Structure 1
Amino acid sequence: MTTPLLALKVDVDTWRGTREGVPRLLALLERHDARATFLFSLGPDHTGRAIKRVFRKGFLKKVSRTSVVEHYGVRTLMYGTLLPGPDIGRREADLMRSVRDAGHEVGIHCWDHIRWQDNVVAQTPDWTRREMKRAADRFAEIFGTPAMTHGAAGWQMNEAAYACERELGFDYASDGRGTHPFLPVDGSGKLIGVPQLPTTLPTLDELIGIDGLSGDNVDQHLLGLTQNATHAQVYTLHAELEGMRLGGTFERLLTGWKAQGYRLDTCRRYFESLDRSVLPRHQVILDEIPGRSGILALQGPVWS
């Protein structure tokens, strides 16, 4: 019987998450003999500019549930407004390389997390390519090799971004939410990007505060979702959450997944296990999901 795989995808959104959350995650993963894919924000931390999301449907409700100030810190929430945004890639290049050297996969999350998440859906192909090229150039500067994977900030994409992933030579990406690997196509069935490994499980910030779930018991809910799964899973965690205040919750998840028989590994290992010649083609759509404000990229209908 084949050991089921659970791919761990770490989104690193902020400077604080990089310098504090990432080292804690490295130690935790090492303790559990697990590997993960770390996706870095490579340019300025402008987290404070997210304040304009206050007008987005459901945003204030999510903030009240998930203790944003506790998780991110007051100083981080001022970057890009009252305080200049620190250049994460410039300041933390050595730390980023240490993640690779510890045996984990590294890739691109974005150049500027807030700029991408709040703008890309409505932006032009030229704007999109400039943002992705800046991130790709910085990645190559830090690691000495081109990036091979990408995971969109906030699961926000447009059609040009999928095309740019092919242009930049990525092997695969994990840009949206869904149920299984697929090839992204447009409304006419034309292939528009590289293979996608969507996030298949809900994130902690989508679950905490709903139906009595808290940091103390949300791991049991997630473990219930994976108990009888018949295919590989992709779980997205955040350096600012699981790498900090929710580290105990994440450790219980790691222990539980190992007890369920999962191999905890990188998205690349999952990608390499696939027969890419038979991947289904799916349209990509923008829609809402429970527990998260706004719309995001979802695996849409299969193209036949």
Structure 2
Amino acid sequence: MLYIGNHTSSAKGYASMARQTIANGGNTFAFFTRNPRGGKAKEIDPEDVAKYQVLAAEHHFGKIVAHAPYTLNACAAKENLRDFARDTMRDDLRRMEFTPGNYYNFHPGSHVGQGTEEGIRKIAGILNDVLTNEQTTTVLLETMAGKGTEVGRSFQELRQIIDLTDQKDKLGICLDTCHVWDAGYDIADHLDQVLEEFQEQIGLERLKAIHLNDSMNELGSHKDRHARIGEGKIGLEALVRVICHPALQGLPVILETPNDDEGWTREIHLLREKHESLILI
């Protein structure tokens, strides 16, 4: 089964997000845990969560993917910014237990001149502070495009973060197709080789979710500018090969394309048709 949906607003609550996802033709979704620029999170209503759980069961939802705010920088040079990252992640992971067994995705961060090695050490330090034995949520490191001083521009850097983290069983990877393309991984013409490298460096068992985006940029541009499916440099057929690849079946596929609900509905139905024509489900 193809679990596909788009990034939606969490302001309306879980049940509303689920209803909009269903209207768009999806059976998973991603959402920000709070304002993407930071701030206090809205209190979770257990009755709303219960309604969501009913809808998710009725419509056979896959795992959903929460997203940390963009302002979270686990390897910031300033200690107050790292305190914000630590406190936000700890609070978000507590809140994730209202919907147990799902995913929490975050951008590893930018080392802002400290160097990649120090950035990796600080990211792992935050993870060691917030991850617990008891949590049911898997925390996903997102593959990054490598703009500026971003950490996570290569599979090797993500592997190094995992290696320095104590609770390795609580970690996974979210592969963003725009980001890896912009980072220099040719998923259009050499998808098998890219996945083989992922297997060698990290292990495909850690790949838990996909952000499916086209890119406005050429391969290796290190810019991170998303395009609608089929309107960028990666192309529709290459992205269809991603969702149809045997090693990637069953993962939640999240669209972060520059769209509204009408546009996401078109993309979801297009990708479902392509997937069903190539995969026996």
TM-score normalised to structure 2 length: 0.51
Q: 2:90 aligns with which of 108, 133, 157?
A: 133
After TM superposition, the structure 1 stretch with the greater mean CA deviation from structure 2, 213-222 or 226-235, is: 213-222
How far 1:89 sits from its partner (Å)?
Answer: 3.7
Q: Spell out the pairing of 1:1-304 with structure 2 (5 A cutoff).
A: 8=4, 11-15=7-11, 22-29=18-25, 35-36=27-28, 38-43=29-34, 45=35, 47=36, 49=37, 87=42, 89-90=44-45, 93=49, 96-101=52-57, 102-106=59-63, 109-110=66-67, 113-116=69-72, 119-122=73-76, 127-140=84-97, 142-143=98-99, 147-154=100-107, 156=109, 158-163=123-128, 164-170=130-136, 172-177=138-143, 185-186=159-160, 189-192=163-166, 193=168, 194-199=170-175, 201-202=177-178, 206-207=214-215, 215=228, 217-218=230-231, 221-227=235-241, 229=245, 231-232=247-248, 234=251, 235-238=253-256, 241=259, 243-261=261-279
- Following superposition, the deviation at residue 114 of structure 1 comes to 4.3
The secondary structure found in structure 1 opposite 2:272 is helix
1:108 shift after superposition? 5.9
Q: How far 1:104 sits from its partner (Å)?
A: 2.0
**For the aligned residues, what is the CA RMSD?**
4.9
Question: CA-to-partner distance for each residue in 1:78-111, whole Å, 9 max, x for gaps?
Answer: xx7xxxx883745964664445334324556256
5+ residue gaps, structure 1, are 51-79, 264-304
1:57 corresponds in structure 2 to: none
Change (3 A) 1:218 1:241: same
Shift of 1:6: 5.5
Secondary structure at 2:143 match in 1: coil
CA distance in 2, matches of 1:188, 1:28: 35
Per the alignment, residue 60 of structure 1 pairs with: none
1:246 CA drift (Å): 2.6
What's the TM-score once normalised by structure 1's chain length?
0.48
Matched-pair identity in %: 9
